[in-house]
Structure 1
Amino acid sequence: MSSDQIIPTVQVDEAVKVTSGTKFVNDKGITAIKNGIKASARDPQIEVKRKPSWLRIKATHGTRYKEVKGTVHEHKLSTVCEEAMCPNINECWSSGTATIMLMGDTCTRACRFCAVNTGNPKGWLDLEEPEHTANSVKLMNLKYLVLTSVNRDDLPDGGAEHYANVVRKVIEMNPDTNVEVLTPDFQGVFEHVETVVDSGIAVFAQNVETVKRLTHPVRDPRSSYEQTMAVLEHAKKYRPDVLTKTSVMLGLGETDEEILETLDDLRAINVDIVTFGQYLQPTVNHLPIDRYVTPEQFETYRQWGLDKGFLEVVSGALVRSSYRAEQVLQKNNVGLG
């Protein structure tokens, strides 16, 4: 999938049902269900980690958030924000920003950090999705829209023309809305990248996900560090006026030296925006967490990026690639203090 993880890890102090490789843990007895079988948390195949204090948030919902949520539910709209149980939903919705996922819920790739369904959609597309998406944006009165999707290697162009059709329809019906796309890598075919970049977007994003050494096993074999870099580089060269963006998950075993190397590689191809967030293990079948990155470390990585000349570096445990995405166009400094 082209976006960040969409299902949070299960922790000792919360009860969450994970839809793939089901696991249920709570602090009242600490039990787990794995593949439909109730098991003890002492099961060596089940790793239960305590969530550090900085990963716990207290939700506060303002008037704007409640208005957006009411519209979403009344009209049965679908957003990644709710379906992914994003911890930043209140802050983003309150600022008029939301993320919508295109082209279904089945990805043709199987990255080991992501809990999205893997399979072959066999060319299926919802041809009414451009109009439905544009209507959703209008109903939600969004000022900034992030469009993302699963990988669709089953389509000849990876879904590039579909992306472009959605963007054009959204802008036609919502001329004051800025659009960011977080796309697949289109198998490195620059023509397909150009199709999306020409559609009227403000920001083009493709996630490198992790440092070069960890690309495999973290990402699907069909994805690569070099391919993502090439896609981002071409998008910027082709349309210098469009901002380019990528996201890196931390906590997978990367070193500080490798983070610096990644920042240097991204800066060398003129990527404008980088986000850093904490990797959270979706299920027991996914890659384990190597470390919890502290808020102080996240701030250090952010400063490294700013010192290297990035337009913005958003860095924090709960940051996901679309976090407060609209602020970069306002030239705001997205601090997390």
Structure 2
Amino acid sequence: MNDPELELLVHRLTWEAEGVLSVELVHPEGKPLPAWQPGAHLDLHLGGHLRQYSLCSDAQDASHYRVGVLNEASSRGGSRYVHTRLRPGDTVRTAGPRNNFALEEAGEYRFVAGGIGVTPLVAMVREAVRTGRRWSLVHGGRTRTSMAFGAELQALAGQSGSGRVTFTPQDELGHIDLDAALADLPADALVYCCGPEPLLSAIREKCAARGCEDKLRIERFAAPEPQPAEAGSAFEVECGRSGLTVAVDEGTSILQAVEQAGVDVPSSCRDGICGTCETRVLEGAPEHRDWLLSDAEHAESRTMMICVSRCVSQRLVLDL
């Protein structure tokens, strides 16, 4: 999908925890930035890489964006660039914000974070405080020193008469007690969880066992498992805007095929989890293989993630 792009100025880098920096971005002319809602993320072009980072600033404050970046040991270049090369005064090309993890209306929120997964939940907690909703947040991490935004979250809990924060450093207390986090879940509550796949799998199992899986909203860092080995049959893709027709062979993704034909499509994860390559479907029946769109969105097939999804018909017409 086409998102507005801006060249933003790096105003401040702040140490938030062991291995975690926050990056504050402003408009170089001091103009207000595009509006966003909690759960949104921003695309950043960093040293030749396109990466997505959740916004964790105040959604009511249009003067700046803030993202949190973990220095990943397995970094493919994005986080390492932020931690070793990016400096105040640099400019960064951005796109968005986009929101695939929106905060829905609820009477109470149960937030569960694993590691840097706390980032989008900071903005959600701030919104819950602003609107006077009941909320709780459980934040798990390897150690206390690795858990970002702790003081900020405690301050938000102090402002709220109906919110609390619980920290669970694994080296001291083990894993998050999900039974406690989900205990006495009201009928009007929603559960938001962001973190590594083992945490997401565990909370899905807990919610399924309790019959409240419909209340769970999750956001992933990575695809939960490698894509299926079957390559899928060959088919054709017509690019509606560029007028090209491209053959997509077995073992080749739509994204790879259109790139080879000279069609420029923004992309990042290539695992079907980030949404950067989301493309509008004009005709045809996609075979959805992403981990981002809901079952209802899969059924509607208005868009698809062309990095992993394929086609159950012989031909697709895409808005490319």
Same fold (TM over 0.5): no
Give the structure-1-normalised TM-score: 0.31
Give the structure-2-normalised TM-score: 0.32
Which structure has the larger Rg over C-alpha atoms? 2
Larger relative contact order, structure 1 or 2 (CA cutoff 8 Å, min sep 6): 1
Give the strand-richer structure, 1 or 2.
2
